[in-house]
Amino acid sequence: MYDTLMQMGRWFGFRPGYADLCRLYAQTDLYGWFKNISFATEDLRDQIDYMNNIEETPENFGLRVATHPELKISSERKVKSGEERSISFSNT
């Protein structure tokens, strides 16, 4: 789940009293999952910035979270008001 990986990633950056660099040994799948949530998080932040610039609300704007076929964004209980939609970017 995205939220679980994000919690695990809290140790990847600088923390006072710890070295400012860390080395991560991970399986290829895990590396790909972190890469995916990094992209999805950055994209969501860009959407929020744009939404704020045009003075819209999340309800009217419709924020999107990029998905991954092997990962859920969060547990079903936490995403109760979300809607799943498929969008294709082919032939654009």
Mean pLDDT over 1-14 rounds to 69
The per-type count for the chain, helices as H runs and strands as E runs, is: 3, 0
Instruction: List, for residues 35-65, the tens digit of each pLDDT value.
Output: 888 888 899 999 999 999 999 998 888 888 8
Residue 76 lies in a domain: no
What range defines the domain where residue 13 resides?
2-61
> Looking at residue 2, what is its pLDDT?
73
Measured CA to CA, the distance from residue 82 to residue 60 in angstroms comes to 13
Residue 92 lies in a domain: no
H/E stretch holding 53? helix 28-53
Residue 24 lies in a domain: yes
Domain count, the chain: 1
Q: Say whether pLDDT at 13 is over 70.
A: no
Are 37 and 6 in contact by the 8 Å Cβ rule? The answer is: yes
- The predicted model scores a pTM of 0.67
Measured CA to CA, the distance from residue 39 to residue 43 in angstroms comes to 6
Q: Say whether pLDDT at 90 is over 80.
A: no
Residue 81 lies in a domain: no
